[in-house]
Amino acid sequence: MIQKNWSELIKPNKLEIVSSNATKAVVVAEPLERGYGLTLGNALRRVLLSSLQGAAVTAVQIDGVLHEFSSIAGVREDVTDIVLNIKEIAIRMEGEGPKRMVVRKEGPGVVTAGDIQTVGDVEILNPDLVICTLDEGTEIRMELTVNTGKGYVPADRNRAEDAPIGLIPVDSLYSPVRKVSYKIDATREGQVLDYDKLTLTVETNGAVTP
């Protein structure tokens, strides 16, 4: 009986990549048994957003700064804003962490992710991301800690008990997949009209190709 159930199950005979580039892809699968499109789309979305390994900044230490509620003379952003900007850095790292990278720059001008002195197999994927803005005569030095993981890890879980004073933990979004959406449309197989067509859209930060 179980074997018969599997043999009579309609399986997709069409898997098409409708569009694709370095960070976004749209994929269509059809036909699917009625209701299976929602089940499959939801499962794929959960797995892609929470279960893929990636790299992210876990902590930052800024010379002369004791905590994230500080401000820095000659820097237009406060430390909280700097940490929020650092959280948006997209990173590709092939090896194991943690690894430490340094940013050192003198104003006037903006400090971007491209100013990070990377190490080993670490690559910054959005070098134009602005971290902070320096006034003339202002110098800043930061040390970033990068690690690998999966899913989302809040800053509190990145706070080590033996962390030195001034080491600020950062919320870490490890997943290289930034957005997954899907829609279900009706499609036909032969004379039957009530099958599902699943359209899945996947967007990444560039660390992996969709």
Q: Report whether 51 contacts 100 (CB < 8 A).
A: no
CA gap 61, 167 in Å, rounded:
5
pLDDT for 96? 84
Which pLDDT belongs to residue 128?
96
Q: Which domains does the chain have, with CATH numbers?
A: 10-51+176-204 (3.30.1360.10), 53-173 (2.170.120.12)
pLDDT at 10: 66
Parts of the chain with a pLDDT under 70: 1-11, 190-192
Question: What are the pLDDT digits (tens) for 68-82?
Answer: 899 999 999 999 999
The token pair at 167 is: 């080491």
Query: Six-digit token pair at 202?
Result: 């996947």
pLDDT of residue 93: 92
Q: How far is CA 61 from CA 6, 68, 100, 144, 162, in A?
A: 57, 10, 10, 7, 14
Separation between Cα atoms, residue 45 and residue 37, nearest integer Å: 12
Global confidence as pTM? 0.83
- What pLDDT shows up at residue 107? 87
